[in-house]
Amino acid sequence: MSRKRRSDPNADKPVHLKPGRSRAVRLFYIAVEGGVTEPDYLAYLQETFGEEHQFHIHRESRKTGLKPREVVDRVLEHRGEDGELWALFDRDEHIGIPEAFAVAKKARVQVAFSHPSFDLWLLLHFNSFSGAQNGADTIVHKKLQQQKHWETFSDDGDKSVKGERAATLTGKQNAAAKRARKLTNDCPTPACSENPGHADHCDPLKRDPSTGVWQLLVALGILGD
Ligand SMILES: [Zn+2]
């Protein structure tokens, strides 16, 4: 929510156009694994694109993070409500990923899975990436840190995605999606390709590296020309 815009009498957009109340606004319940980066990113999406593309994101997260299965369970608390259910989780060092996928599939929760981590999706806004990471995002972070405003982005540093840092992503989401889709072509499962994506029988743990976050942006209506 932009407080500035709401209180500024000269604001160029009237308050009634803001998302969240109109029937045309599509609701997305999105649970995420990380406690900082992903919630910040979803807030950024809402703030930057929510009004234009008429969506409202209801976030579910925990400061200390959630495990993949917990992510799916969290979003399932909204089952039966009028909106799409999404779960975002990573390979990281976690076990229980096949189980989280299975539960999500059965309950029709959409999964945006990243391998080694969500942060790969952020990096793809700036650079292509390739090569198996075996669950570690050290290299992903090193490459991100080369970008202006991302210098301190690390697990022991500042993992937030706000302000100037978040603004560096704007306008690059189509390029990021293109790079993410290309990674699908590198999947060792022969049936996987950028169209239509990873096959149902593709083992997520072998999608190294990969990220499906772009599919969320497709659903939100953000990607385009
Ligand atoms: Zn695959």
Quote the ligand 1 centre to 162 CA distance (angstroms).
Answer: 32
Residue 35 covered by a domain: yes
Residue 225 covered by a domain: no
Q: Is the predicted pLDDT of residue 10 greater than 90, yes or no?
A: no
Residues 6+ apart with CB under 8 A from 198: 184, 187, 189, 192, 204, 207, 210, 212
Question: Cβ of 190: how many Cβ atoms within 10 Å?
Answer: 8
Quote the ligand 1 centre to 198 CA distance (angstroms).
Answer: 4
DSSP E strands, 24-80: 26-32, 55-60
Give the confidence band of 93 by pLDDT, cuts at 50, 70, 90. confident
- Residue 80: which domain range? 3-220
Average pLDDT, the chain: 90
Q: What is the model's pTM?
A: 0.88
Quote the ligand 1 centre to 33 CA distance (angstroms).
Answer: 21
Residue 224: its pLDDT value, please?
79
Residue 104 covered by a domain: yes
Q: Is the predicted pLDDT of residue 3 greater than 50, yes or no?
A: no
Quote the ligand 1 centre to 175 CA distance (angstroms).
Answer: 21
Question: Where does residue 25 rank: exposed (0-12), middle (13-18), buried (19+ CB within 10 A)?
Answer: middle
At 40-58, the pLDDT tens digits run 999 999 999 999 999 999 9
At 177-217, the pLDDT tens digits run 999 999 999 999 999 998 878 998 999 999 999 999 999 99
For ligand 1, a single-atom ion, the residues with CB < 5 A are 187, 189, 192, 198, 202
Residue 101 covered by a domain: yes
For the ranges 25-39, 131-145, 156-170, 194-208, the lowest mean pLDDT is seen at 194-208
Mean pLDDT, rounded, for 1-7: 43
Residue 27 covered by a domain: yes
How many independent structural domains does the chain possess? 1
